[in-house]
Structure 1
Amino acid sequence: MKNLLTDIAGVSVGHADDAVIASGVTAILFERPAVASIDVRGGGPGTREDSLLSPHNVVEAIDGITLSGGSALGLDAAGGVQAWLAERGRGFRIRDAVIPIVPGAICFDLLNGGNKAWGRFPPYRDLGYAAANAASDNFELGSVGAGMGATTANLKGGLGSASAVTDDGVKVAALAVVNAVGSVTVGSGPWFWAAPFEVDSEFGGRGLPPAFTPDMLKLRLKGGADATAAENTTLVVVVTDAQLTKPQAKRLAMIAQTGMARAIYPVHAPLDGDVVFAAATGAKPVDPLFGLTKLGAIAANTVARAIARGVHSATALPFPGALPSWRDRFG
């Protein structure tokens, strides 16, 4: 166990980013098509193929998921991932046609100091292809891939991941791109809201403050009174090796959303586009009631940990006025 999304067999992750534009793409690929669904709780989401993931719609399984910066312009990234998969004959087959099924979601990072004057076409389709080409069972955390340009209310955001195993041996893992309107830390201190769920000091081991003051509970919003819905989101991918139907994957995504509430304050606001994808590779059976409930609870804890790890691992962007990283502030 590497404490990464790729602890689930058959899953690979790749990043591609550009330091000049301060943005990037992360591709999650499945060796075999995975049953998947989605749950959207934020008020300003940006997604691709989200309707396809509804339990009542026809396509059951997907070949990959693409997360990107670039706001709506970044939705092109999934086309690059599709191209990479199509070259290898991977996708949904309709007679002689092969169509890779690659849902995606984006976060807004267009005002973070990077040079976005890229000309006629934004670079995200090419970055998507490069991210798919780089996919492996090991990947970096922090200011990489789709987390390259991410920010929160008070600290640099980033990309995090974590994994866990239920007591009956089912694995679940999460990957999060943290670009929230709120804060992942308590007040102006080093403590993470997700501290009760931390494993082996994976995000600093600072625990919670000895007491909570009114100042710690004040809302800290990115942009303050000028915050807008278009600028924020947290993107999460949860993958398990359980055998799930599409409706069960939907329920897993819904339960896993509670992990955001354990790690970000506030969350699911009209100013956010919070999204959770849930996918199942189908290796292990799980009880549809108690077993799925237990899996969802552990998935939610794992999401909270992944979010904290994304901020803990991030590095500040090298531009004037850029937000500091957690490590810059607290070592």
Structure 2
Amino acid sequence: MTTVRKGQAAPKLPRDQFRARFLQAFHDPAYQAESAAIERLEAIAWDAYQQGRKAPVTVKAGPGYADPDYDLSVEWRDASERLQAAQQRWERRDTPDRLLLVCCSSRNDGTCPGEMSKTFRLTQLARQTIAHEAPGTEVDVLDLSRLNSDYDLHIHPCKGCASTAMPLCHWPCSCYPNHAERQTGDWMNEIFERWVAAHGVILLTPVYWYQVPSPLKLMMDRMVCADGGNPDPTTTHGKKADEAKAMELAGWDYPKHLAGRMYGVVVHGDVAGIEGVRRSLSDWLDWMGLHDAGVHSRLDRFIGYYEPYANSHDTLDADGAMQEEVRNVARAVLRGVQDLRAGRFHPPDCRLQRPRPK
């Protein structure tokens, strides 16, 4: 058996540091009138932290799980059932085509920048194109900038369970919420469901320092469970690293939970980095088993090359060719979805098996 390595994690916080962190949420003097109640809540939170009550509300897993007697988080079970229902709708031929458009900019006019992003405008172009060309198509817009403008909404970082052993990474992710450490308000269960429900996905993103914006990277990292994740946490009795290692070494099939969907990518920048980001996003989506919708579905363009940021929206207004290229991304993915669902889309390598799945 492979050794489970230990010794990196910091010790738990002492009471005074815990209290200081807990009270940060109540910095507003308006809370002072309820200071006694807040002190009582802090004592409850300290007790939960000390006991590690990550999932304080559980039910027996029941039939269909490897260990029916395991105490399963009700929040995880509910999320799993929603994903299963979304997958069943996705597989049915009598449901409308559904496209997910992901606006990946961190900027919107409801927070510090005070102005909408160009990415949001491009997302609206794609949405309008789909609505015009296929009125019956369902279009779902996921705006990741809401992480910066919505109250207490988070995509918590991936904890890297897959690197210990793939079966330790559960589908959907079971790392959050972690009530003992107040890692709550996580958006990913909803995001997983929206990806599963989609027949096609279009990512629209700017380039930030040669890379994707942090909301997109957070989502990407957390979606590792969609590529090889374990749909039954009872097989590892939660996060038992030794059990997960034994499962993987015995043979793991790395199920691709989002395989078979079409995708498109729109990347824009102002100086550099657009090609690298477009390639990395395409590689990521290819790896998960999605299908690109052709050369017109993968776009990288500069908006105002080496021009000021201040008038970049005006520059986009004047770039009719890029606007039409974004519309073509939407058209390509829409037609790809239509062909795929009608049985007309057959990738040349569709019958090949990976000799080294992972």
TM-score w.r.t. length of structure 2: 0.26
Higher relative contact order (CA 8 A, sep 6+): 1
TM-score w.r.t. length of structure 1: 0.27
More helix by share: 2
Between structure 1 and structure 2, the one with the greater Rg is 2
More strand by share: 1
